[in-house]
Amino acid sequence: MTVIDANRMHEIEARYPEYFHRSFRQRFGGLMILIATLLYSLYAVWFFDLPKLFAEAHWERVGIYLSQWVSYDVQPEFRIEDDGSIDIRYPRFSPLGDNPHPDWLVNNPDGSITVSISGTSRTVTVSKSQTVVTAHGITVPVDVSSGAPEVVGPVPGWMTVYNDNVLADLGFAGNVSISVDRVKIRKRFIGWANFIFDTQSSFFDKPLGEVVGLIVSGPRIKPDQSNLSLAFDDIWNNSEWQHGDVWTKLFQTIVMAFLGTLLGSLAAFPLAFLAARNITPNRLLNQILKRFFDFLRSVDMLIWALFLTRAFGPGPLAGSGAIFLTETGTLGKLYSEGLENIDNKQREGIKSTGAQTVLVHRYGIMPQIVPVIVSQTLYQWESNVRGATIIGAVGAGGIGLKLWEAMRTNANWENVAYMVILILIVAFLFDAASNALRHRLMGTKTH
């Protein structure tokens, strides 16, 4: 065991004072940051009144909206006529087409109609005198022969009785609204209805094998057009999903992001040389350009889009202009800071040979700044693909406006899901392409 005397201890303390004589900040800095974070969190909870916010939130709507992203419903209405017959009606533009004959609807010999909501566990049988609902393991008759619908027997928890209506909640499968003269059923299906062909298409409701056979070797449906061309037209011009318009708007968004980022980088590059103190030793010019960059990027891209849509009207031009202005400020700041952080030895070495200013910049500065320019520009390009979607919602064109229109109806959530998935795929592809291009240009390997 080694024993250290007092002199040796003092010598060690003098040599390493940062370990033996730590300041208050060094000793308690971490604890103070932790306490400050905790206090700020408590303040945020109080300021935003989070307990009340969570208590009053309509959490049930989350499930409803998410279910509508991945499903669709069919809403047949059964009207009980005076003669006791039952007339079946579907809403206009029903996913089943103009002349539906679904296999989940059965006409019984006694004149009643049985609808399978979810297999045999949830069914509804409609007759002229009563409607029988089977769900959750029990069967509940509802008498409709008198002035108001009346539940026969005890009312289960999933059924609500109103003055002139009885509502049966069958969960995700759908619901049933029963009144004296009509029964409305909402039956839910998983998937996206008519995603390939809409109800007006010649290929609607045909099995896949029959569609393929018609396209490959079947007789022409329209004499002046091949079946393959007709199928493509029907898909591209699908009135329910509007594939052609959606993909065109998506391409507009990509073009907006590319054009705006390209023009912003071209404008920011020369201005950055004038803003960098070590390149252009003019303090006034440096400060003017840096404040100009601050102004351009401090005004959000969305605000620029609003200004430009008022000036030029709605469309991709306003979106590209908004991205251009924002990126000029952002990339100008990033480029100028990169220039100010270069190693001046390489630059001074080139200058000492008597080379012209252009050659000094080319061989003394550019090899050092190119990795920064490539990396930051590609990142901003990738980010602007997502940003172009947001500014599209205020009239700058692209898929953002299409997405906002679908959300405003509060009914086309499956179309919203479709466009969101397309945007995510584009973002992932651009992220992968940006990384690959960045590594290729900078000479590094991906792992």
State the first-to-last Cα distance of the chain, in angstroms, to the nearest integer. 49
In angstroms, the CA 172 to CA 120 distance is 15
Backbone angles phi and psi of 446, in degrees to 5: -90, 150
pLDDT in tens, 91-118: 888 888 888 888 899 999 988 999 999 8
pLDDT band at 217 (very low <50, low <70, confident <90, very high): confident
Residues 165 and 298 both lie in one domain: no
Q: Are residues 430 and 349 in the same domain?
A: yes
Phi and psi based region of residue 159 (left: phi greater than 0; alpha: psi -120 to 50; beta: remaining): beta
Q: What is the share, in percent, of the chain residues with pLDDT greater than 90?
A: 31
Q: Around Cβ 204, how many Cβ atoms within 10 Å?
A: 16
pLDDT of residue 137: 87
Give a yes or no: residue 3 inside a domain. no
If pLDDT is split at 50, 70 and 90, which confidence band does 445 have? low
Distance of CA 437 to the CA centre of its chain: 25
Amino acid residing at 102: P
Average pLDDT (435-441) is 76
Three-state DSSP at 4 gives coil
Report the distance separating Cα 177 and Cα 131, nearest Å.
10
Three-state secondary-structure class, residue 76:
coil
| Residue 15 lies inside a defined structural domain of this protein | no
Task: Please report the pLDDT score of residue 446 as a whole number.
Answer: 52
Does the residue 148 lie in any domain?
yes
pLDDT (0 to 100) of residue 19: 62
| Same domain assignment for residues 402 and 268 | yes
Q: Please, what is the angle between helix 399-408 and helix 413-442, to 10°? A: 150
pLDDT in tens, 361-378: 777 778 778 888 888 888
Confidence at residue 359, expressed as pLDDT on a 0 to 100 scale: 78
Number of domains in the chain: 2
| Tens-place pLDDT, residues 140-178 | 999 988 878 888 889 999 999 998 899 999 888 889 999
- Domain presence at residue 99: yes
* 433 & 293 share domain: yes
Let me know whether 340 and 417 are in one domain. Answer: yes
Which of 288, 283, 248 is closest to 271 using CA atoms?
288
pLDDT over threshold 70, residue 21: no
Query: Is residue 242 over pLDDT 70?
Result: yes
Nearest to 396, CA basis, from 251, 261, 296, 252: 252
Say yes or no: 150 and 249 in one domain: no
425 in the same domain as 324: yes
Tokens, residue 223: 């004499």
Whole-number Cα distances in Å, 347 to 322, 353, 357: 36, 10, 10
* 182 and 319 both lie in a single domain: no
Q: Where are the alpha helices (DSSP H) in 203-282?
A: 208-216, 227-236, 243-275
Q: Are residues 257 and 356 in the same domain?
A: yes
d(CA 422, CA 214): 29
Stated pTM of the model: 0.79
**406 CA to centre of own chain:** 12
Quick check: is 271 in a domain?
A: yes
pLDDT at 295: 93
β-bridge pairing 159-161 and 166-169: antiparallel
Calpha distance 142→354 (Å, rounded):
100
For residue 359, tell me if it sits in a domain. yes
Q: Give the Cα separation of 324 and 312 in Å (integer).
A: 15
Domain containing 260: what range?
243-442
Q: Which residue has the higher pLDDT, 342 or 303?
A: 303
**How would you class 195 by CB atoms within 10 Å of its CB: exposed for 0-12, middle for 13-18, buried for 19 or more?**
middle
**409 and 279, same structural domain?**
yes
Same domain, 294 and 361: yes
Rounded Cα distance between 33 and 27, Å, is 12
How crowded is residue 350: how many other Cβ atoms within 10 Å of its Cβ?
A: 17
Domain stop point among 190, 216, 234: 190
Query: What is the CATH classification number for the domain harbouring 373?
Result: 1.10.3720.10
Task: Please check the confidence at residue 384 and state whether its pLDDT lies above 60.
Answer: yes
172/283 same-domain check: no
Contact indicator for 203, 211 with CB cutoff of 8 Å:
yes
Whether 255 is in a domain gets the answer yes
Residue with tokens 């004589």: 21
Residues 255-279, mean pLDDT to the nearest whole number: 91
Whether residue 423 lies inside any domain: the answer is: yes
**Span of 16-25, 86-95, 98-107 with lowest mean pLDDT:** 16-25
> Lowest mean pLDDT: which of 62-66, 202-206, 401-405?
62-66
279, pLDDT greater than 80: yes
Asked whether the predicted pLDDT for residue 260 surpasses 80, the reply is yes
Cβ(273)–Cβ(361) below 8 Å: yes
Q: How far apart are CA 301 and CA 296, in angstroms?
A: 9
C-beta atoms surrounding 3 within 10 Å: 5
